[in-house]
């Protein structure tokens, strides 16, 4: 199929040829029909206008008639400069932080996401794509070279972690504004409810009896006397009940002395993490021992391989649990966004905060990418692309130049004759 701009080029060329034929015919018969001088004036100006516009349009893309006339083949000759100008224009106008922020603020990101995820087939498609991506990534990671590289990298970075500083910072955040007390309250409440169950009390009694008091079987008159009954009675009547009572008291009393004791111990532990060199060295030694422990490494590697085997099988199964979980999560996320206006507002705020800065930071990279792409193109490719997109309008310039030039020539000739008769 012939491109539209090629058809327009033929029409423009035919207009120019028509003006030429009209000029020749009008000159030939002008002696017999003096009025044809107006036609010849029209045709002459039309040819001049058509040729001038043909030259201008052609000079944009190539040398007219192959003659290397100065200031022709403008686009191929200035390809690099045009590429820099184009990429700079895009970066400064379309990728500027201000423009992107205004665009994102006008665009309801959360609403668009909810609308797009409203259809079940789209949610299933997202889950399927994520599952495929996970499967591909897992296959790449499980290759021996990648696995060895990741293992070395992980061990290297874990070995450089400042364990005491990391633990100290995490516990300090937990201790801020009494958050550790809230965690303690929840733990004590759960433990108290658990110990209120009679079966759980029996489990505790049997555990302590079998693991602790079994060791204390004294000898009387050379014979070993079992302490099981005495131990069971002590546990049943004293230890378990007293422990449950103490846990309940601490849970119900925000000002219990044991809480203050735990607070002091917690603060002392954080202080040691930060300022006790011996304790810091002990933690670092423990970290290094764990990393250098071959048995532990083999065990962790075995567990990891089993997990990866299961995940690899699951990701490719027809009834994949991972895919089902992803679909459930996406469905829950979409329904939550749909009915939770504050959540949508928060998501839009995050988009306004993060996307403009992200685009601004990567603007130079996008600029360089556009320039590299344009530099990689052949001059003929660039010319073909531009002609394909704007060539239709450029050929209309030639057509209009022929017609408008002829009308102007006709008007000038008519005015000249009018002035001569006055």
The pLDDT assigned to 234 comes to: 56
Average pLDDT, 10 consecutive residues per value, the chain (422 residues): 64 88 89 87 89 83 79 73 74 78 86 88 89 85 72 76 80 73 77 76 70 54 52 58 75 78 81 83 82 77 82 86 89 86 88 84 80 73 71 78 86 86 76
Q: 73 with 63: CB under 8 angstroms?
A: yes
d(C-alpha 149, C-alpha 144), whole Å:
8
Per-domain boundaries in the chain: 5-72+377-421, 147-292
DSSP structural state of residue 223: E
Please write the tens of the pLDDT for every residue from 135-189.
Answer: 888 887 777 776 777 777 877 777 778 878 888 788 787 777 667 777 777 787 7
The pLDDT assigned to 238 comes to: 65
The pLDDT assigned to 384 comes to: 73
Cα–chain-centroid distance for residue 83? Answer: 27
Q: Which of 28, 31, 75, 25 is nearest to 380 (CA)?
A: 75
d(C-alpha 18, C-alpha 12), whole Å:
10
DSSP structural state of residue 90: I
The pLDDT assigned to 209 comes to: 65
Q: Which of 133, 106, 131, 114 is nearest to 321 (CA)?
A: 131
The pLDDT assigned to 315 comes to: 86
The pLDDT assigned to 226 comes to: 53
Backbone dihedral angles phi then psi of residue 220, each to the nearest 5 degrees: -125, 120
DSSP output for 381-408: HHHHHHHHHHHHHHHHHHHHHHHHHHHH
The pLDDT assigned to 208 comes to: 66
The pLDDT assigned to 148 comes to: 76
Tally of residues, the chain: 422
d(C-alpha 397, C-alpha 53), whole Å:
7
């Amino acid at each position: 199929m012939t491109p539209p701009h090629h058809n327009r080029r033929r029409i423009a060329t035919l207009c120019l040829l028509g003006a030429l034929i009209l000029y020749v015919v009008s000159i030939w018969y002008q002696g017999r029909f003096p009025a044809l001088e107006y036609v010849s004036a029209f045709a002459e100006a039309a040819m001049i206008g058509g040729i001038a516009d043909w030259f201008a349009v052609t000079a944009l893309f190539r040398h007219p008639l192959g003659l290397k006339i100065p200031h022709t083949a403008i686009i191929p000759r200035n390809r690099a400069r045009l590429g820099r100008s184009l990429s700079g224009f895009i970066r400064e106008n379309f990728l500027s932080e201000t423009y992107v922020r205004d665009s994102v603020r006008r665009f309801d990101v959360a609403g668009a996401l909810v609308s797009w995820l409203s259809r079940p087939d789209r949610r299933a498609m997202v889950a399927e794509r994520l599952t495929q991506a996970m499967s591909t990534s897992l296959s790449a990671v499980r290759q021996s070279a990648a696995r060895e590289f990741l293992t070395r990298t992980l061990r290297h970075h874990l070995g450089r972690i400042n364990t005491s500083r990391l633990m100290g910072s995490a516990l300090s955040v937990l201790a801020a504004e009494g958050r550790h007390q809230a965690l303690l309250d929840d733990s004590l409440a759960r433990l108290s409810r658990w110990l209120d169950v009679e079966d759980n009390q029996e489990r505790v009694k049997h555990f302590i009896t079998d693991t602790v008091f079994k060791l204390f079987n004294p000898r009387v008159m050379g014979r070993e006397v079992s302490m099981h009954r005495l131990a069971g009675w002590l546990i049943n009547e004293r230890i378990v009940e007293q422990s449950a009572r103490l846990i309940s008291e601490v849970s119900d009393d925000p000002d219990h002395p044991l809480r203050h004791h735990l607070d002091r111990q917690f603060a002392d532990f954080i202080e040691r993490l930060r300022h006790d060199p011996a304790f810091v060295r002990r933690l670092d030694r423990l970290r290094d021992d764990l990393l250098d422990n071959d048995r532990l490494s083999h065990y962790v590697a075995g567990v990891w391989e089993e997990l990866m085997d299961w995940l690899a099988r699951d990701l490719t199964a027809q009834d994949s649990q991972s895919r089902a979980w992803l679909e459930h999560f996406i469905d829950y996320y979409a329904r939550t966004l749909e009915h939770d206006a504050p959540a949508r507002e928060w998501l839009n705020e995050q988009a306004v905060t993060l996307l403009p800065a992200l685009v601004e930071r990567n603007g130079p990279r996008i600029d360089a990418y556009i320039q590299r792409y344009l530099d990689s193109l052949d001059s003929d490719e660039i010319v073909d692309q531009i002609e394909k997109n704007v060539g239709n309008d450029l050929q209309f310039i030639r057509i209009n130049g022929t017609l408008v030039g002829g009308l102007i020539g006709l008007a000038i000739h008519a005015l000249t004759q009018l002035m001569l008769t006055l």
